[in-house]
Amino acid sequence: MPASRTRIGFLVGSIAALIVGLMVLQLSTEIAKSFLSLFPPQIVIRIVSVAVIGLPIWYLLQRRERTEEIQRLDEGWAARLHARGEELMAVNNALVSEVSKRIDTEQSLEANRRDLRVLASQLLRLQEDERRRISRDLHDDINQRLALLSIDIEMLEQQLSGVPVRTVSRVHAIQDRIAELSENVRRLAHQFHPSILDDLGVSIALRRLVDDFQARTGIAARFLGKDIPTHVAKDSATCLYRVAQEGLANISRHAKAKNILVELRRLRNGLQLTINDDGVGFDVNQSDGRRGSLGLLSMRERVSLVAGNLDIQSTPGEGTRVCAWVPFKQEPV
């Protein structure tokens, strides 16, 4: 119905506008006259009156319809924008929640890693303290008892002047076994914790470690120390000694090396320990091909606990180089 009214209004308005235009322009052409002659004068006057009154009304109605249509479109777009904004807000809230959860998880993991590092550090310290205690007990108690037993047997041997030679030989054999057992106990105590490390420093302790390794395995091993401070922090000294100990153990078990060079020197406000061998080497990029992987993991953990770094370079058939660096700090004398 509104559409019909609109079409009729448009038709009447068009005719009225055309007549008014012809009158206003005062066209004297044959076309204008012939067109106006089609309508009686009364009809023309009425059409003009209707046009004068109806055109503004028609214009207002058209404007109102356009305004209402624009409002409907605006309301539709506003509703769609509001719905889209709600969706985006929900997605944004979900992303914020997810990011917050991830941040909380990362912070929790970092806190757990710190706790694990602290725990590992404490465990290593307790382990070293226990090693030190066992080493001291072996050296000061058991080894001393073995020494006293060896003296007692020697005194007993001096009193066996009239016994058979076979008995004296048996006593000599027992004395030799006691001396061998005493040496084994001394070596075991040294492996647990070398007292020389606390008494004479890390440089001399490493030199002794390399010399004992050469004597025990027959592998040519040298130690070089350059510009080493007299007093080194206990944690750093113990770390370097254990790294050298584990590195030499790995060489003896896996490397098939003929020559070894162990070097300790001052570098970048720290101490650097390098162990070079000419053994078979291995591929450091293959996890299942790493020799002594548990020992390497222990070495890395020890070095990281003193804020140092460990670098291992090796190529199959070309030997291996282990380099450990720890921050340098001197303990007060």
In a domain, 315, yes or no: yes
- pLDDT tens digits for 45-101? 766 676 667 667 777 787 888 888 888 888 788 888 888 888 889 898 899 989 988
In a domain, 51, yes or no: no
pTM of the model: 0.59
Helix (H) or strand (E) holding 313: strand 309-314
CATH code of 291's domain:
3.30.565.10
Q: Are strands 220-226 and 309-314 parallel, antiparallel or unpaired?
A: unpaired
Contact at 8 Å (CB) between 324 and 272? Answer: yes
In a domain, 301, yes or no: yes
The predicted structure's pLDDT at residue 262? 95
| Number of folded domains that form the chain | 1
Residue-range definition of the domain harbouring residue 275: 201-333
- Closest among 111, 117, 106, 6 to 66, alpha carbons compared: 6
- pLDDT tens digits for 149-196? 888 888 887 777 777 778 878 888 888 888 888 888 888 877 777 778
In a domain, 70, yes or no: no
